[in-house]
A and B are shown apart, each in its own frame.
Chain A
């Protein structure tokens, strides 16, 4: 079974802090994704990566950056946290070239509160 592990289930930070959310997958997947999910807005893609050191902007990249130094690890960075970034953050991964045929597998999510 695919295992996607997010470093924290719950996190509380203050406005202006730099926040790091970590995600690790153990299935040698090439593709990794960060989403946020808010009531009534569904899943929104922030960034994704299809290879080490590669990244692509999703639909809502503003205020976020990412890092992929190793294949198994994809980090989401909130450069200067703001209250409107309070949300559930979900990491997912999928196979590489076959990714167009393969589903994404999600971690348990991090519920982030910015005070």
Chain B
């Protein structure tokens, strides 16, 4: 089992729709969770951090964390073609130094 798992996609949604990206993690004691956006040929860019159970909203983005289910998700409301990218879920391990474990990413395609 991978430490951080994501559906590779591609996930295709029409412009204006809600895109829902999901991620599960295996280490129950993980404490910090992040979503990065990566455009083709570019480096990952942090878009959301979440540390507590529940929802965290930032503009069109909402991160959701459920530690009991070891599940974190990212919702993108009013999806735009410019949101088309690969979204990486990342989890900080509380042991083994300060390494972050990255999922392989979900490719999102927003159709105009």
B-contacting residues of A (Cβ < 8 Å)?
31, 33, 42-43, 45, 48, 50, 56, 58, 90, 94, 96, 99-109
Contacts and interface: CB of A to CB of B under 8 A. Distances in A.
Interface in B85-99: 88, 90, 92-94, 97-99
Nearest to B51: A101
B100 A104 contact: yes
Contacts of A50: 97-98
Interface on chain B toward A: helix, strand, loop, or mixed SS? loop
Interface of B: 31-32, 34, 42-46, 49, 51, 88, 90, 92-94, 97-100, 102-105
A100 B44 contact: no
Contacts of B90: 103-104
A62 to B, nearest CB: 18
18 contacts: A42-B88, A42-B102, A43-B102, A50-B97, A56-B97, A58-B99, A90-B44, A94-B98, A94-B100, A101-B31, A101-B32, A101-B92, A103-B34, A104-B100, A106-B43, A107-B43, A108-B43, A109-B42
